[in-house]
């Protein structure tokens, strides 16, 4: 039963601290402006449109275990579970 009042005090203390107004920063010097970054080259874009219609991928009848191997298949399963 001692945890409830302690938890309530911690929550109230946090709320009170969050509600306090923040002090104004000193305006003695203007903030430095960030240096302009060099112009980047335009990136290549993937073509979009009707010429990029989805194509069916052939399905492999072999199970994942036979295709990847036992160790790689186990790692893949562990990553999917995690």
Candidates 45, 80, 13, 44; CA nearest to 72 is 80
Q: Which residue has the higher pLDDT, 36 or 77?
A: 77
What lies within 8 Å, CB to CB, of 52 at 6+ separation is 46
For residue 52, the enclosing domain spans 3-81
pLDDT tens figures, 1-39: 456 677 676 676 666 666 666 667 666 666 666 666 666
Question: What is the total count of domains within the chain?
Answer: 1
**Res 78 pLDDT > 80:** yes
- Predicted TM-score (pTM) of this structure: 0.23
């Amino acid at each position: 039963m001692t945890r409830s009042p302690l938890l309530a005090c911690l929550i109230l203390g946090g709320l009170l601290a969050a509600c306090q107004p923040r002090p104004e920063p000193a305006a003695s010097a203007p903030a430095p402006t960030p240096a302009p970054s060099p112009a980047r080259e335009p990136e290549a874009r993937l073509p979009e449109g009707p010429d990029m219609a989805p194509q069916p991928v052939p399905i492999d009848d072999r199970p994942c275990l036979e295709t990847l191997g036992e160790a790689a298949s186990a790692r893949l399963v562990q990553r999917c579970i995690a």
